[in-house]
A and B are shown apart, each in its own frame.
Chain A
C-alpha cells in the first residue's frame, strides 16, 4: 500500500462549488504539505503543517483552507472553486527528526478541473 494517499485522484467540478481534497499518510511523519502544479510552472506551496496544532500559509494560500484532523490526515478545501484553480494538487510529508535530511514524500496527485 502507498505511504501517502490522496483522494480523489481526479475531480471535475463547477465554478462556485466547495471541494475537499484529502491526504492520508502511514509514514508517521509530523509534517505535511499541499502543493499545486501548473503546466510550465514549478510546484508551489499552498499550506503546510508541522504538527496537528500548527498550520501555516504557503506562497499561494488565497482561495484555499486546510484542516489537520490528525497526524496522519491533512485536507485541502476550496471554498468556492474557480477555473484558475484547475491544476494538479500534491500532498507531501516529511519527518522532523534532528539530523534527518527532511526528504519529502509525495502522494500520487489529484487532478482537479474547475469548469
Chain B
C-alpha cells in the first residue's frame, strides 16, 4: 500500500463546478503539500499546510491530522484549472513522499 493515496485518479467536470480532490496518508508527517503539474510538465507549489485550512483565490486546502486526510477544493472551476494535482507529505526534515496525482479536466 502506498504511503500517500489520492482519489480520484481522474476527474472530468464542467466549467463552474465545485471540485474536490482527496489525499490520505498512512504515516506521521510534519507538513503536507499540494502541487499542480501543468500539461507542459512544469510543477508549481500551491499550498503547504500542517493544520487547518488555507485559501488562495479559488483554491482551498484543508487537512485533518487526526484522520490523516487532506482535501483540495476548487470553486467555480475553469478550463485553465485542467492539470494534474499532486499531494505530497513531508516526513522528517526534508523527505517528500508523493501521491500518484489526480488528473483534472474541466470542459467549457
Contacts and interface: CB of A to CB of B under 8 A. Distances in A.
B45 A103 contact: yes
Nearest to B97: A42
Interface in A86-115: 88, 90, 94, 101-106, 108-109, 111
A108 B41 CA distance: 7
Nearest to B45: A103
A45 B96 contact: yes
Contacts of B31: 101-102
Interface stretch (B11-19, B57-65, B72-80, B98-106): B98-106
Interface of B: 2, 4, 31, 33, 35, 40-45, 48, 86, 88, 90, 94-101
Interface of A: 31, 40-45, 48, 50, 88, 90, 94, 101-106, 108-109, 111
